[in-house]
Amino acid sequence: MSVSRLDYQTTGTDCWRLDTGLNREGHTACYLLHDAGELALIDTGTSNNIPALLQTLRDLGFCASQVRWILPTHVHLDHAGGAGALLAACDNATLATHHRGLPHLIDPEKLEQGARAVYGEAVFSRAFGTLVPAPADRCRALEEGDRVPLGRHELLFIETPGHANHHGCFFHEPKGNLYTGDAFGLRYPALDHEGRPWLMATTTPVAFDPDLWMQSLERMMALTPRRACLTHFGPLETPLEWQEQLRQSIRDHQDIALEEERLGTPEGREERLAGALMEKMLARLAEHNPGVDEALARRLLQDDIRLNSQGLAVWLARRQKRKLTQ
């Protein structure tokens, strides 16, 4: 598990970005925070990477008993699949996440069924391993504005639906770090150009809501964060400078879905959405970097495009169901 320390001019809480290695290097991160002998992990990766995560703690000079908080931004398995297993290994820890998501970590049966349906049996077993239930008496449900104490400081929790209705971000005000999960989109450093990142929305099943996402971005940016720490992937400086790029990507996804809706035929929908999304994202990338390696971009984005198309198809199905009940 590769480790990168986030260095700052100010003193206080230390932070490391850990690469869980899920799917490929540079795809899925979690963040280790240390303050006055106490540790918190924001997102965990999957059960399969928990042994490597625990070894990384030891390599950094820590031990599992120092972990006070396990803080998934939401319960999608690339973010929280390892939460129960990590909790079992850390006897002083409490698992805390959005109140809507927490029940699925205490009883992960429905979460597992949904993930198996999205990824398929073979991919699920290889990528996610076994989901360990979290004991309810070692969990805390978080609401908007809750604060999580860590050492001499604390983390502010804000609800940020849009990617998922149980999504939340953690803000460390002393250093201006906003731990965004998927709420600030996807950014892969290999697609950066001249120091400028390229961001893409992630609409994986099942709760994409573009209007709520835009509202969540307003709340996130109102905190004036100095850095957004993305799960996919890594810390991003001056996020206010890049927020419009993410907003445009959300609008692009919405527009493509609504155009598909006008066709009125669900058969072949995910394939058409995936094709349209790939072409639009490649066009946006070319605007960002006219010399982009298209083959590399397709390779990096193909899995996310597939999941995004599934999520948009679910969104359209929900819209249709609402129309029929009105």
More confident residue, 127 or 304: 304
Strand partners, 159: 168
pTM above 0.75, yes or no: yes
All residues at 6 or more sequence positions from 267 whose CB lies less than 8 Å from its CB, including other chains: none
Q: Taking 60 as the threshold, does the pLDDT of residue 275 lie above it?
A: yes
All residues at 6 or more sequence positions from 51 whose CB lies less than 8 Å from its CB, including other chains: none
What pLDDT was estimated at residue 220?
Answer: 98
121 and 169 share a domain? yes
Task: Report which residue type is found at 187.
Answer: R
Among candidates 236, 250, 142, which has minimal Cα distance to 195?
236
Q: Taking 80 as the threshold, does the pLDDT of residue 326 lie above it?
A: no
Backbone angles phi, psi at 178, to 5 degrees: -110, 115
Q: Taking 50 as the threshold, does the pLDDT of residue 255 lie above it?
A: yes
Please tell me the distance from the alpha carbon of residue 172 to that of residue 170, in angstroms, as a whole number.
Answer: 7
Give the model confidence (pLDDT) of 89-109 as tens digits: 999 999 999 999 999 999 999
What pLDDT was estimated at residue 264?
Answer: 75
Last residue of a domain, which of 216, 246, 276? 246
Q: The domain that contains 111 carries what CATH number?
A: 3.60.15.10
Last residue of a domain, which of 246, 275, 307? 246
Q: Taking 80 as the threshold, does the pLDDT of residue 266 lie above it?
A: yes
Report helix, strand or coil for 39: strand
14 and 153 share a domain? yes
Q: 306 lies in which domain range?
A: 251-325
Query: Which segment of 15-19, 78-82, 117-121, 154-158 scores lowest on mean pLDDT?
Result: 117-121
Report the greatest alpha carbon distance in the chain: 59
210 and 137 share a domain? yes
Please tell me the distance from the alpha carbon of residue 279 to that of residue 112, in angstroms, as a whole number.
Answer: 32
Please tell me the distance from the alpha carbon of residue 214 to that of residue 217, in angstroms, as a whole number.
Answer: 5
Domains of the chain: total: 2
46 and 112 share a domain? yes
Among candidates 62, 60, 117, 116, which has minimal Cα distance to 89?
62
End-to-end C-alpha distance for the chain, whole angstroms:
51
Strand partners, 288: none
What pLDDT was estimated at residue 8?
Answer: 52
Last residue of a domain, which of 246, 272, 291? 246
What pLDDT was estimated at residue 237?
Answer: 95
Give the model confidence (pLDDT) of 137-190 as tens digits: 999 999 999 999 999 999 999 999 999 999 999 999 999 999 999 999 999 899
DSSP state of 131: P
For all residues of the chain together, what is the average pLDDT? 94
What pLDDT was estimated at residue 9?
Answer: 47
* CA-to-CA dists, residue 314 to 36, 178, 205, 218, 307, angstroms: 45, 29, 7, 25, 11
214 and 292 share a domain? no
Structural element, H or E, at residue 228:
strand 227-230
Report helix, strand or coil for 266: coil
